[in-house]
């Protein structure tokens, strides 16, 4: 039996810091979908959002608090009454609420951002923790930009938070500035010079600006830290956060040497990564550790020879352990509903009955066009359903003309409130023409901010995935679409974004 003293707690910030990454726009349903998967992954704390930042964030934290009963649910709040009250209200339905309050501690932040003295910051920190305790008995306090702060002042600040009731103290490398040896020395200094630190959990939150987030998190563990804050696929502000899957698998693979463990259900890692990738629209690099598509691929002859003799020659992790399973059935146009459901189960994908029916219909349509359907196709079909919002606009048909000697044109038919509306336009290519035709029909004056194409699988008949980000009146949303025809995938993605604009205004 593992010693609880050696347990490392995993604080997941995918839905808060991760969602703050540029271009990510998750609605409440999508955040709840990720939160439910994080529960299956067995993280200890789910930081669900920053309630004061927007109505949608407040609602998402409230919804996750009501639905996820087996995890601690955290909400972020600056060290001021309005933020803390908003966090407390959003967490009111949570079984195990955590208010995560923070204030800057570095001289550079105090001078240029807060414009406050150190004494004022100390007072605000103490008051923030006390106010947070009105809503919950578990408060986490963070000193923003801690690694660039005066160490003596940092310890005084942590002491103030502890004296006022904080149960978790977070030492964040907010701008990813620290190097591992220095980070370890700082943690030692905190342990040696902060009264009461032995009575609370010390946590770290590392950013990846210098590519050291995971290395610094690992160094923190070796210096006695008990909680690591990280995000699935390493997403987050700027270069992102420490990667949850890397932290979990380093500890699992080297736990005898490290002498620690987590409660992460590593069999859910692949599924979790895939859901976050699909819903956020943030692609995972092929060479990304643990979850990149090349992580368990071997091309060099000497590697292939070793793998054929014994997998342990070049693999230190079994792909099956993190949820990668080999195909058992060949799926195609003659496959039935039961075979499709079995494949979803093999891939660890769970859909409600309504989404399942729609996903099966899309699978049959794709199989007619493509023939054999692989696991990547099945994942894309299922996860595209998870992103669906109420369809104010429904694509019924489209027709494009394009060539080297003609100007591209497009005719699109969209159903609105039971009536087919048709629009035509010319443009710089079939996709641009189609988007302009859709604009005429929907009468939504939105600006296209991003357009991305990704091949879901290989081959000439590969399923293509398109992500678009559009902006209207300061609101940005992301739309997605999949098809073997990239123009169709683009149209679907653009209409999905239009539906999300309408949905966000409701």
| 172, pLDDT greater than 90 | yes
* Three-class secondary structure of residue 52 per DSSP: helix
Decide if pLDDT at 271 tops 80: yes
Give the mean model confidence (pLDDT) for residues 93-112.
96
Cross-strand pairs, 467: 452, 480
Residue 289 is predicted with a pLDDT of 94
- The set of residues, in sequence order, having a beta carbon less than 8 Å from that of 357 and lying 6+ positions away, is none
Q: With CA atoms as reference, report the closest residue to 442 among 402, 408, 479, 485.
A: 479
DSSP state of 320: G
Residue 381, pLDDT score:
80
Average pLDDT, the chain: 90
pLDDT higher at 266 or 482: 266
CB-based burial label for 261 (10 Å; 0-12, 13-18, 19+): middle
Q: Do domains 4-280 and 394-505 have the same CATH topology?
A: no
Distance, first Cα to last Cα, the chain: 52
Non-local (6+) Cβ contacts of 216 within 8 A are: 173, 178, 179, 180, 183, 204, 206, 242
- Cα distance between residue 288 and residue 268, in whole Å: 17
184 token code pair: 């370890």
What pLDDT is stored for residue 93 in this prediction? 96
Q: What is the CATH T-level fold of the domain 394-505, as seen in this structure?
A: Double Stranded RNA Binding Domain (3.30.160)
How would you write 218-256 as a 3-class SS string? HHHHHCCCCEEEEEHHHCCCCCCECEHHHHHHHHHHCHH
Mean pLDDT of 233-244: 97
pLDDT value, residue 293: 80
Query: Would you state the pLDDT for residue 2?
Result: 63
Q: Strand pairing partners for 46?
A: 12, 73
Half-sphere exposure of 178 (CA within 13 A, CB side): 29
Alpha helices by DSSP H, listed for 68-149, are 81-90, 107-109, 118-132
Please write the tens of the pLDDT for every residue from 54-83.
999 999 999 999 999 999 999 999 999 999
Q: Tell me the residue length of the chain.
A: 506
> Which region among 310-314, 330-334, 482-486 has the lowest average model confidence (pLDDT)?
310-314
pLDDT band at 166 (very low <50, low <70, confident <90, very high): very high
pLDDT over 70 for what percent of the chain? 93
pLDDT of residue 1 exceeding 70, the answer is: no
- Residue spans of the domains in the chain: they are 4-280, 325-383, 394-505
- pLDDT at position 186 is 98
Predicted TM-score (pTM) of this structure: 0.83
Mean local confidence (pLDDT), 17-44: 93
Q: Are 204 and 229 in contact (CB under 8 A)?
A: yes
Give the confidence band of 220 by pLDDT, cuts at 50, 70, 90.
very high
pLDDT at 17 over 50: yes
pLDDT of residue 367: 78
Q: Which CATH number fits domain 4-280: 3.90.550.10, 1.25.40.10, 3.30.420.40, 3.20.20.70?
A: 3.20.20.70
Question: What's the pLDDT score for residue 161?
Answer: 98
Q: Do the Cβ atoms of 154 and 172 come closer than 8 Å?
A: no
Torsion, Cα of 397, 401, 407, 409 (10° steps)? -10
Q: Is the dihedral of CA 270, 274, 275, 280 positive or negative?
A: positive
Task: Kindly tell me if the per-residue pLDDT of 419 is higher than 90.
Answer: yes
Per-residue confidence (pLDDT) for residue 23, from 0 to 100: 81
**What percent of the chain lies above the pLDDT cut of 90?**
67
pLDDT of residue 147: 98
Measured over the CA atoms of residue 82, residue 87, residue 93 and residue 97, the dihedral's sign is negative
Q: Residue for token digits 């692989």? A: 374
Q: Which pairing describes strands 475-483 and 447-455: parallel, antiparallel, or unpaired?
A: unpaired
CA 443 from chain centre, in angstroms, equals: 32
| Burial of residue 71, with CB atoms counted within 10 A of its CB: 0-12 exposed, 13-18 middle, 19 or more buried | buried
Q: How far is residue 270 from each of residues 276, 294, 311, measured CA to CA in Å?
A: 10, 13, 20
Confidence of residue 303 (pLDDT cuts 50, 70, 90): very low
């Amino acid at each position: 039996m593992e010693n609880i003293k050696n347990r490392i707690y995993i604080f997941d910030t995918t839905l808060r810091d991760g969602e703050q990454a540029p271009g990510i726009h998750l609605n409440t349903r999508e955040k709840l979908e990720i939160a439910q998967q994080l529960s299956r992954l067995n993280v200890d704390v789910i930081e669900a959002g920053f309630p004061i930042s927007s109505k949608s964030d407040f609602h998402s934290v409230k919804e996750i608090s009501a639905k996820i009963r087996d995890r601690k649910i955290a909400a972020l709040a600056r060290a001021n009454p309005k933020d803390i009250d908003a966090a407390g209200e959003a967490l009111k339905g949570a079984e195990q609420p955590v208010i995560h309050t923070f204030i800057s501690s570095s001289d550079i932040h105090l001078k240029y951002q807060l414009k406050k003295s150190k004494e004022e910051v100390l007072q605000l920190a103490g008051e923030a923790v006390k106010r947070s305790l009105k809503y919950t008995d578990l408060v986490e306090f963070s000193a923003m930009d801690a690694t660039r702060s005066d160490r003596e002042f940092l310890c005084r600040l942590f002491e103030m938070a502890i004296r006022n009731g904080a149960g978790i103290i977070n030492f964040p490398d907010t701008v990813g500035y620290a190097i591992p040896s220095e980070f370890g020395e700082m943690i030692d200094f905190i342990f040696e010079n902060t009264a009461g630190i032995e009575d609370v959990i010390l946590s770290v939150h590392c950013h990846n600006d210098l590519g050291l987030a995971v290395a610094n998190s690992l160094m923190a563990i070796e210096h006695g830290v008990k909680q690591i804050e990280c995000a699935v696929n390493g997403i987050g502000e700027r270069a992102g956060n420490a990667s949850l899957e890397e932290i979990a698998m380093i500890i699992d693979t080297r736990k005898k040497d490290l002498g620690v463990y987590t409660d992460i259900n590593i069999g859910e890692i692949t599924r979790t990564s895939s859901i976050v990738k699909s819903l956020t629209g943030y692609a995972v690099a092929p060479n990304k550790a643990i979850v990149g598509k090349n992580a368990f691929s071997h091309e060099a002859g000497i590697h292939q020879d070793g793998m054929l003799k014994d997998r342990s020659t070049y693999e230190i992790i079994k792909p099956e352990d993190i949820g990668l399973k080999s195909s058992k059935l060949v799926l195609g146009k003659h496959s039935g509903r039961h075979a499709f459901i079995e494949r979803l189960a093999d891939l660890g994908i769970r859909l409600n009955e309504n989404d399942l029916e729609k996903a099966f219909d899309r699978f049959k349509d794709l199989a007619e066009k493509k023939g054999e359907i692989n696991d990547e196709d099945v994942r894309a079909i299922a996860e595209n359903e998870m992103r669906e919002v109420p369809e104010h606009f429904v694509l019924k048909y489209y027709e494009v003309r394009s060539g080297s000697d003609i100007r591209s044109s497009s005719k699109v038919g969209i159903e609105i409130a039971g009536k087919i509306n048709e629009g035509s336009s010319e443009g710089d290519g079939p996709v641009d023409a189609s988007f302009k035709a859709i604009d005429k029909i929907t009468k939504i004056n939105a600006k296209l901010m991003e357009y991305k194409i990704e091949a879901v699988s290989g081959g000439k008949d590969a399923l293509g995935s398109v992500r678009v980000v559009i902006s209207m009146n300061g609101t940005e949303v992301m739309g997605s679409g999949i098809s073997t025809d990239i123009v169709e995938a683009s149209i679907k993605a653009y209409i999905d974004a239009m539906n999300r604009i309408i949905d966000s205004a409701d």
